[in-house]
């Protein structure tokens, strides 16, 4: 007769692997294994807070150094939408001379004008 055990995470009954029949605590599902590892890690960190904080600092420093070296993305284009940027400059210059209500009105009008320009340039960038 097979020995059955109860999983400490999901509380379901399971048959342990033959070579771990006396020590297996969880059923083996990915979710239970993940919960068990996290629980043990929390317990380990709580037992030695200073060491775990030092390990975390070291891990973050290593990751940050790698991210700086890897340059995770290409730098942005300086003039991605030159027409749109010129229009925005024009808007800002006018806005400085207008009231708040005039600014709101002008902004809505400009957004309507810029939208097709940005779309046109975005479509052009997708095809290249």
Q: What is the pLDDT of residue 14?
A: 94
End-to-end Cα separation, the chain, in angstroms:
68
Quote the CA–CA distance of 104 and 79 in Å, as a whole number: 26
Two tokens, residue 45: 């960190």
DSSP string of 46-67, one letter each residue: HHTHHHHHHHHHHHHHHHHHHH
**Measured between alpha carbons, how far is 99 from 23 in angstroms, rounded to an integer?**
76
In the numeric block, which tokens belong to residue 104? 């709101």
Instruction: Please spell the DSSP secondary structure of the chain, one letter per residue.
Output: ----EE-TTT--EEPPPGGGTTT--S---HHHHHHHHHHHHHHHHHHTHHHHHHHHHHHHHHHHHHHHHHT-SPPPPTTSSHHHHHHHHHHHHHHHTS-HHHHHHHHHHHHHHHHHHHHHHHHHHHH-
**Per-residue confidence in pLDDT tens, the chain, 128 aa:** 678 999 999 999 999 998 988 899 999 899 999 999 999 999 999 999 999 999 999 999 998 887 776 665 665 565 567 777 788 888 778 777 777 777 778 778 888 888 888 787 777 766 55
10 Å Cβ neighbour count for 117?
A: 15
Task: For residue 34, give both structure tokens.
Answer: 């993940």
């Amino acid at each position: 007769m097979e020995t059955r055990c109860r999983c400490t995470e999901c509380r379901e009954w399971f048959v342990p692997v033959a070579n771990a029949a006396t020590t297996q605590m969880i059923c083996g599902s990915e979710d239970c294994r993940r919960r068990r590892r996290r629980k043990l890690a929390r317990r380990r960190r709580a037992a030695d807070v200073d060491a775990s904080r030092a390990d975390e600092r070291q891990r973050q420093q290593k990751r940050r150094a790698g991210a700086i070296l890897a340059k995770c993305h290409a730098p942005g284009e300086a003039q991605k939408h030159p027409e749109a940027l010129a229009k925005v400059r024009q808007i800002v210059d006018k806005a400085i001379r207008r009231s708040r209500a005039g600014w709101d009105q002008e902004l809505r009008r400009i957004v309507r004008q810029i939208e097709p320009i940005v779309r046109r340039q975005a479509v052009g960038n997708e095809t290249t």
